[in-house]
Amino acid sequence: MDRCSKKKDIEICAVKIHILSGSIIIITVYRSPTVNTAYILNNLKAALNQVYNNTVDIILCGDLNTNYFNDNQNKQAVNSLLPCYRIYSIIEFLTRIHNISHIMVGNIYINKFNN
C-alpha cells in the first residue's frame, strides 16, 4: 500500500484479519481536500486492486473529503469506482457538524451485506 500513498495527498493503510469464516481487509483512507479527485481515485483503485478478490470481505473507511450529503462530482466519481469492487457506502447521517456547516465526509464502505 505504500506506493498508493503520498504524504499530504492521500494516505492509505490496510490490515488483513483472518477469522474462521474467511478474511476481512480493513482499509483506511485519508484524502487531502486540495488534491485532484481523479488522482485520489487512481491511487484508491490501485490499492483496491492489490487486495480485492471475491473471497475477502472489505471494510473501507476514512475521510475522502467528499461530501456525501449533497450530490456533487466528487461523490459521483467515488460512486462510480467503488461498485466495481462491490463496495457501497453504509453511512446515511452527517459525520461532521460545525456551527455553520453540516456535512458527511467521513464514511464507511463495505462489500458484503450479510452482517
In a domain, 70, yes or no: yes
* Integer angstrom CA distances of residue 94 from 69, 102, 103: 7, 7, 5
Cβ-proximal residues to 102 (8 Å cutoff; 6+ apart), any chain: 69, 94, 96
Q: Comparing C-alpha atoms, which of 59, 45, 63 is closest to residue 114?
A: 59
Each residue's pLDDT tens digit, 43-54: 889 999 998 887
- SS3 of the chain: helix, strand, coil, percent, to 5: 25, 35, 40
Domain encompassing residue 38 = 2-110
Q: What percent of the chain has pLDDT over 90?
A: 10
**65 pLDDT band (50/70/90 cuts)?**
low
In a domain, 36, yes or no: yes
For residue 90, give the CATH number of its domain: 3.60.10.10
In a domain, 51, yes or no: yes
- Across the range 51-80, mean pLDDT stands at 78
The total number of structural domains that make up the chain: 1
- Give the model's pLDDT for residue 56: 85
